[in-house]
Structure 1
């Protein structure tokens, strides 16, 4: 069977790349990681031949070319339904898709104020006022899920697409010392203790520090 390839950017700064990688691994899909620094003109031109939108992550698998994290989620769910990327219950599955879509398309102030940087560890950080409603909304989502489904993951006993989508947010909250209520702090710990998250973080910390932060990856 042809090997799957996942085109990613920086592991340290690449929140969308992290999401795509987690989704593939949740599906049980082993991938070859292909690093493309999108800010380099030569690499950008090369990527144009791969993806019309010049976006990462991009999954290539058995003739399919899939970019955008939610598209990757749906592809993996269709190809590997036994992996259980979405909850089995219809209502819970709709809820999972809703909050995954919300993090996918919203929270722009949070992204600009607290860009993902897995190396960063601030003891205190002055958060831009515009980002505070985003932080409050995310905590409300997490608390609601924990109350409905019992944790430790957003939809119960095992991680789903939603956890992959919110994993970079948990990393941001840790990097910038964002105050959280006990329920949300426990969820952040669940994410950070996740073996897949630890595997990605270890690789990110080993990444050369000269990798530049990518605006597209906030």
Structure 2
């Protein structure tokens, strides 16, 4: 009998469920200051998608409604870096599905800003990154589990960035030029 089986029979909580992993692979029992956590919803079995909610249980992945760790600025930064490497060539720098390969004739992915994807649970994105969907291949071998979740956090930030009401923007930010999200005025990608 393995150690995990013995703990399960004894009713013990697994280490993955009892601690909060961070992007460096370490664990802590409390989220760091300045982090945002989700306190309700299904998080694919309370882990990073490698056990009950992992590749062997697609239903748990797809139904996950919360992240398995707190979303911090470091997580968003890592997610943006990984998104730019793995996702932007198809999905574009701002998530509208206008990446460089689409401009070269490949099939256009859906915009992250469509209502259907804004309403999709985070587990849907985890499942698609892990297992692929339609023309998108799976990235399970290329993108570590924590980076998949970081990418999803960044996608949620992209979605929110396009849905802000003008009344919610601080007055000092209203007259600042927009960053362009990695694209030039003519619509081409910045290199």
- When normalised by structure 1's length, the TM-score is 0.24
Higher helix share: 1
Whose Rg is larger? 2
- Higher relative contact order structure (alpha carbons within 8 Å, sequence separation ≥ 6): 1
- When normalised by structure 2's length, the TM-score is 0.26
